[in-house]
Structure formats: C-alpha cells, structure tokens
Chain A
Amino acid sequence: MSKLRAIIGYTLAALAVPLVLAVFMGQSFWMKELVAATGVKVSPWLTGGDVIRTISHDEYQISIHEQVFQGLLSEKKEGLVQVDWKPAKNLPDRIDEDIDYDGDGKNDFHIALDTKSNQAYVQSLQTGVIGLEKSYVLKDGQAVRVRIKNPRK
C-alpha cells in the first residue's frame, strides 16, 4: 500500500511539468474555453452594460446602454443607465438632449452636458429617474450615468 501511494505521489509530481507546459503552450485555447464554459462577462456596473440602441446625429452618435440593476442574488431596487456620446472630436461644446432609455416612446430625462468641462445636469422627466450619478470622459467621447429606479421592484 505504501509503495502504491509512493508511485502515485511520484507520478503526480512528475505530471506537474507537463501540466505547466500545457498551461503556457495552450494558454489562448484554455482562455477561450474558460470563458465559453463559464459564460462570464465583465460586470455591467463597470462597463455600463450592453448598448441597446444608437441614435445618429449629423456628426456624432448617441449610444444608450441597457438598464443595470444586477445584484448578487436578485435585482437591486435602484440601478443606472449609461448614455455615451462619440466621437469626441465631433461633439459640440454643449449637448442638450432628451433621452428615452427604456424605448417606451416617452422621454425619461433631459441631459445638459458641457463637453469641455465635463459638467452635466440631469432633469428628470419621469418618476423612475432619480438623478445624475456621474459624468465621464471616455477614450473617444463622453458618457453620463443616471440613477434610476427598478420598475420591477
């Protein structure tokens, strides 16, 4: 029995080297397999969520992201919605826009954004909108995140 344990021990120890080599040689393969098997993506709280609608203006376009309410076990009572304006070089000095983020045909909030100073002001037009969370400068544009109430909670 002790000889069998020793043989197994040495075998597993020796297998550490091929394991390490397999990790490095097949890293890009294993990476894709890991993502495909787990189905994970980066948290929408950090990315703003997937873009669900784009609106094109003459020189720039607006991207409206999905509403984010994700919690650990269930949806949160409050969340956010992110709106982007791109590209940076074509943005006017000031943006005044009504945004309908849920696609129900009614404008949900009015945004006034100074693209030079990155100052933003949000005026709620529906009861589900709480207010501005923050405005951001993107790599090629600008974005605002607006706090909203979860209609399902």
Chain B
Amino acid sequence: MQGFLLGLASGTVCLAYCAPVLIPFILGEGKGIGRNYSLLARFLAGRLIGYLLFGLLAWAAGRLLIKNSIHQEIIFGLAYIILAVMMFYYGLSRPPEICAGKLMQKSGSRFLQRWPELLPVALGLATGLNLCPPFLLAFTGAADSASLVQSLLFFLAFFLGTSVYFLPMPLLGVFRRVAPLQTVGRMASVLMSLYYVYTGIIMLGGGIIGS
C-alpha cells in the first residue's frame, strides 16, 4: 500500500518530466487509440521490468548490508530523513533535464534499429531507471521488506501508482496539462517529504532508544 501511495504522490512528476520527449516518439502522429495503447503497454512493460530489477536490488541490499546490522532502525531512519530532504529539495528546485528517453533517441542503437518493436520497451526501461528521490524512497521502503516477494511487490505497487497517470495519455491532449501536473506533482513531493522526515525521525528515535 505504501509503495502504491508513494507512486501516486510522485507519479505526476514522472509523467511530466518524460512526457514531452516520449509522447511524440511513442505516439507518432496518432495512429488510432488501439495502436497508441499497444505502444503504451510496451512502454509500461519496459518500466515494470526496470522497477522489478530495482526491487530485486533493494531486497539484496537490505538483506546483505542492513538487516544483519543491529542498527537497522537507525540506518533506515537516517535513510528516510536524507532521502526526504532530497525529495524536498527536488520538489522545490528546477529539475535537470535528464531523461533517458532523450539519450535513447540520440544513441540510435543498432540493436533497436534491428528490432524497432522493442524500442518502446527500451524507452520504458530507461525511464524506469530514473534515480529521483521518490524512486530512492521506494528503494529504501523495499529494502526494509522481510522477503524478496515483498520487495518486488513494493516496487510493483510503486509502478502501478506511477502508471495511473500514463493511462489517459493516448486519449487526452496531455501537452496542455503537463505544466500544471508538473507543479502539482512537485508540490505533492515536497509535502510527502515532510511525512517521510517525520517517519524517519520516529524510526531514528526508536532505534537510538532501543540500542
């Protein structure tokens, strides 16, 4: 649930930053809603693969590095606080124009030229591996999971939360709505970061008292 809600709160930012690059690339010149949804499905599949890979990585990191530590509450508390502060700054500042989709477009990989049908999947994978603070918070949340399955489910839920905003893309005039969505998303990120700072402080306090 927490993963889904984190995704919902930060998903507008995910959409707004990559949409100006991806929409013309993926949707082309409007080849019909069915074709557009097929392209979107492949794009989202690529995003999902990226997110699940990260879920696996988060579980491994949690297991190997943190869970063996007697100070895991302190580590997680600190991680939440630092990442929340980053998310706060991320929400307030002008974002750098980093989008893997742009790079993908420019690189003109021979592999993708051979199998153009995989291009939306590759774009989705590239955009999915964006290390923005909400993503890192999801990583921390997943690393705290008790099992690999839970970690993967956390990232699946995060993916579903962010993907909600992509679903109307083939139908609506998204360009017009991107700037307000971006502003709402960044403001929501700032507010959510306050919740994560609070959670981190509680965990840190609990860890310090417990140890």
Query: A residues within 8 Å of B by Cβ?
Result: 71-73
B residues 1-39 touching A (CB-CB < 8 Å): 1
| In the complex, residue of chain B having the shortest beta-carbon distance to the beta carbon of A72 | B1
Closest 3 CB pairs of A and B: A72-B1, A73-B1, A71-B1
Contact-size category for B: under 10
Residues of A within 8 A of B1 (CB): 71-73
- Show 3 residue pairs from A and B whose CB-CB distance is below 8 angstroms, ordered by the A residue: A71-B1, A72-B1, A73-B1
* Main secondary structure on B side of the interface with A: loop
Query: B residues within 8 Å of A by Cβ?
Result: 1
CB distance from B128 to the nearest CB of A (A): 24
| In the complex, residue of chain B having the shortest beta-carbon distance to the beta carbon of A77 | B146
What's the Cα separation between A71 and B1 when bound, in Å?
10
| In the complex, residue of chain B having the shortest beta-carbon distance to the beta carbon of A71 | B1
What's the Cα separation between A94 and B1 when bound, in Å?
42
What's the Cα separation between A104 and B159 when bound, in Å?
43
Residues of B within 8 A of A71 (CB): 1
Residues of B within 8 A of A72 (CB): 1
| In the complex, residue of chain A having the shortest beta-carbon distance to the beta carbon of B1 | A72
What's the Cα separation between A7 and B1 when bound, in Å?
48
Residues of B within 8 A of A73 (CB): 1
What's the Cα separation between A73 and B1 when bound, in Å?
8
What's the Cα separation between A71 and B2 when bound, in Å?
12
CB distance from A130 to the nearest CB of B (A): 14
What's the Cα separation between A72 and B1 when bound, in Å?
8
What's the Cα separation between A12 and B1 when bound, in Å?
42
CB distance from A66 to the nearest CB of B (A): 22
CB distance from A75 to the nearest CB of B (A): 12
CB distance from A5 to the nearest CB of B (A): 25
